Chain A
């Protein structure tokens, strides 16, 4: 074996200059980002690794895992309220999102101004977390499930409107064209040509959004907007972590069931 004495190393890999520069920019950016993050974040390590934390840990964690069954009826009632809030809000959003969806769909309105302004307003709504909207609604109309419903209704329009517009853009336009050729008016085209094509997908997306809204409405109560979150807020203030544990257990169970039910219904629809 001659090659044991003379090594033939593979030629160096040629990396294009542009790629080298790009890689260095990425590295520099990452270094700068982490340097900035770790140099300026204010974490009070003394507070975190303190005896108090240890005490909290030994009190909070065991209590969380031994739920207080006495509050189960209350928690279930409030969970019911949460589900109702999510339902009312999602349904309102599902209806309100329809015009947005049509305005944003290119094949419905052949106007860039209408399309983009509808798309932008949908994107704008999506940028706001629901709980932030809830904070404003609570300030406006007082702490109540109503504030939560409004937050969900407004907050869900963004995503639903966007998904609706995608559904509308993917429909079979030949049906619409042939109805038009038969002399149908705009409203007839809408009801006979478009709506039947989009209803299953619209419904499926609304159900999917309900799934999301159930999760988010469980926490709206933390800032006074009704539902099981209210119980969690009160229990944490009173440091009754076993009650929080109960609420948590119910949330996990109900959310799991809703997710499962929702996905099996959606599978049947589409």
Chain B
């Protein structure tokens, strides 16, 4: 009896299941996954005409294009100012409107505040659907309704950012301390007072941070809305490329780059400060 316990490795050895077999299985699994990834890649690259061969033959064109983009047409910078401001203004308006609208919507989309299950589920599902629609697609639709211009772009940005903001905010609201809400209700407060006194103070820092985050997203998005006629600097970029004015195009690209970097830097700093 002492012998068997003295040599535990002997007891656990099973000749039909040698050690290392599990590792072997994992290896097979990995090989299979790897093979699947490569096979799918071969198919998709063939289907989209972007295999390594296409890449090889396409690269010279890309490099020629890059060459043509330089030097940038520095003098053109002054002419882009108006459109650049429009871009940022669109983002400001859209973020403001979405920031206001998202409050009631996110309250309806949070399980702990929503008046009933129906309101909660319907709002949440609508927001889920909204988030799947790309911003540019919304812009195409609004251009179809309101015509070419910044207004269509603003509408697209509002709808687009509403989906994101409402989701983030609803998650925050669902995580708040619900004890104070109970206390306010118990002292005779109505629903609006419960929200203003109990919910809002608890979510304010996150709300500000999310709004700034969405502002960043909106600036990026509004830069390209002009491609479909929804206002902003994108319109100039598209025009200069279709007129083969690559120097101008490069100038716009530089301006966009600088604008994005500056805005993200500022917004990031503020968000760090708040949270």
Tell me if chains A and B make direct contact, with any CB pair below 8 A: yes
A interface, CB within 8 angstroms of B: 33-34, 36-38, 40-44, 47-48, 52-53, 56-57, 60-61, 64, 80-81, 83-85, 87-88, 91, 123-124, 127-129, 131-132, 135-137, 139-141, 144-146, 148-150, 215-216, 218-219, 222-223, 226, 229, 232-233, 236, 239, 241, 244, 248, 251-252, 255-256, 259
Q: Given A248-B133, A252-B133, 20 more contacts at CB 8 Å?
A: A33-B92, A41-B86, A41-B89, A42-B150, A53-B145, A60-B141, A60-B145, A61-B145, A87-B44, A129-B223, A135-B237, A137-B65, A148-B48, A149-B45, A149-B48, A215-B132, A218-B134, A219-B135, A219-B137, A256-B129
Residues on B with beta carbons closer than 8 Å to the beta carbon of A259 = 132
Q: Is B257 an interface residue (CB 8 A)?
A: yes
Cα of A239 to Cα of B44 in the assembled complex, Å: 31
Residues on B with beta carbons closer than 8 Å to the beta carbon of A37 = 89, 92-93
Mark the stretch among B1-9, B54-62, B168-176 that contacts chain A.
B54-62
How far in angstroms is the closest Cβ of chain B from A269?
A: 10
Known: A132-B256, A136-B65, A222-B140. A251 touches B133 (CB 8 A): yes
Q: Is B22 an interface residue (CB 8 A)?
A: no
Of B47, B90, B134, B264, the residue contacting A215 (CB under 8 A) is B134
Cα of A241 to Cα of B143 in the assembled complex, Å: 12
Question: Which 8 pairs between the two chains have the least Cβ-Cβ distance?
Answer: A140-B65, A84-B44, A145-B48, A149-B50, A255-B132, A219-B136, A146-B50, A127-B260
B48 near A84: Cβ-Cβ < 8 Å: yes
Q: Which residue of B lies closest to A145 (CB)?
A: B48
Q: Which residue of A lies closest to B47 (CB)?
A: A84
Known: A42-B86, A129-B223, A146-B50. A244 touches B151 (CB 8 A): no
Q: Is B194 an interface residue (CB 8 A)?
A: no
Q: Is B238 an interface residue (CB 8 A)?
A: yes
A47 near B147: Cβ-Cβ < 8 Å: yes
How far in angstroms is the closest Cβ of chain B from A44?
A: 6
Q: Which residue of A lies closest to B152 (CB)?
A: A48
Known: A37-B89, A88-B50. A128 touches B137 (CB 8 A): no
Residues on A with beta carbons closer than 8 Å to the beta carbon of B54 = 146
Of A56, A148, A229, the residue contacting B146 (CB under 8 A) is A56
Of A88, A223, A255, the residue contacting B41 (CB under 8 A) is A88
B62 near A135: Cβ-Cβ < 8 Å: no
A127 near B257: Cβ-Cβ < 8 Å: yes
A64 near B141: Cβ-Cβ < 8 Å: yes
Of A33, A44, A128, A223, the residue contacting B257 (CB under 8 A) is A128
A-B contact pairs, 7 of them (CB 8 A): A64-B141, A88-B45, A88-B50, A129-B220, A136-B65, A239-B144, A255-B132
B227 near A41: Cβ-Cβ < 8 Å: no
Cα of A36 to Cα of B92 in the assembled complex, Å: 11
Residues on B with beta carbons closer than 8 Å to the beta carbon of A135 = 227, 237-238, 241
Tell me which residues from 210 to 250 in chain B have a Cβ below 8 Å from any Cβ of chain A: 220-221, 223-224, 227-228, 234, 237-238, 241, 246, 249
Cα of A190 to Cα of B261 in the assembled complex, Å: 34
How far in angstroms is the closest Cβ of chain B from A116?
A: 15
How far in angstroms is the closest Cβ of chain B from A12?
A: 21
Residues on B with beta carbons closer than 8 Å to the beta carbon of A251 = 132-134, 137
Cα of A83 to Cα of B48 in the assembled complex, Å: 10
Interface 1/0s, chain B 88-120, versus A by CB < 8 A?
011011001000000000000000000000000
Q: Is B37 an interface residue (CB 8 A)?
A: yes
Query: B135, B144, B223: which has the most chain A beta carbons within 10 Å?
Result: B144
B147 near A52: Cβ-Cβ < 8 Å: yes
A137 near B62: Cβ-Cβ < 8 Å: yes
B224 near A129: Cβ-Cβ < 8 Å: yes
Q: Is B85 an interface residue (CB 8 A)?
A: yes
Q: Is B269 an interface residue (CB 8 A)?
A: no
Cα of A244 to Cα of B139 in the assembled complex, Å: 13
Tell me which residues from 188 to 209 in chain B have a Cβ below 8 Å from any Cβ of chain A: none
How far in angstroms is the closest Cβ of chain A from B214?
A: 16
How far in angstroms is the closest Cβ of chain A from B218?
A: 12
Of A91, A127, A140, the residue contacting B261 (CB under 8 A) is A127
Q: Which residue of A lies closest to B132 (CB)?
A: A255
How far in angstroms is the closest Cβ of chain A from B256?
A: 7
Cα of A131 to Cα of B224 in the assembled complex, Å: 7
B61 near A141: Cβ-Cβ < 8 Å: yes
Q: Which residue of A lies closest to B135 (CB)?
A: A219
Q: Is B43 an interface residue (CB 8 A)?
A: yes
A47 near B149: Cβ-Cβ < 8 Å: yes
Residues on A with beta carbons closer than 8 Å to the beta carbon of B136 = 131, 219, 222
Cα of A244 to Cα of B134 in the assembled complex, Å: 13
Cα of A135 to Cα of B235 in the assembled complex, Å: 12
Q: Which residue of A lies closest to B149 (CB)?
A: A44
A150 near B62: Cβ-Cβ < 8 Å: yes
B86 near A139: Cβ-Cβ < 8 Å: no
